[in-house]
Amino acid sequence: MATKLVTNYQVKHCVTCDFWSGSRNVDNAGVVVSVSDPSIKGKCLGKWRPNSFTPNHTCPDFKKWGALK
């Protein structure tokens, strides 16, 4: 069984990026982000489209997810 990945709004990874299309959840405070499986991939809808990346990938074109504070 996969381990859940939990991170926060200060981490500039795909999982906290506005351009990432992977499945993720954010808490009510807009601070803690989680995914059910850290190995899942989501398409980048930004500069690196249509490549897919895991939640902990990062790049210089990161933009904070709008759901985050």
**Structural contact between residues 69 and 9, judged by C-beta atoms closer than 8 angstroms:** yes
- 56 binds ligand SF4, rule: CB under 6 A: no
20 binding ligand SF4? (CB under 6 A): yes
* 48 near ligand SF4, rule: CB under 6 A: yes
> For residues 32 and 46, which CB has a smaller minimum distance to ligand SF4 in the complex?
46
Our finding on whether 38 is near ligand SF4 (CB under 6 A) is no
> In this chain, which of 46, 54, 56, 64 binds ligand SF4, going by CB under 6 A?
46
Rounded Cα distance, 30 and 46, in Å: 22
In angstroms, the CA 69 to CA 65 distance is 9
> For residue 28, what are its two tokens?
């009510």
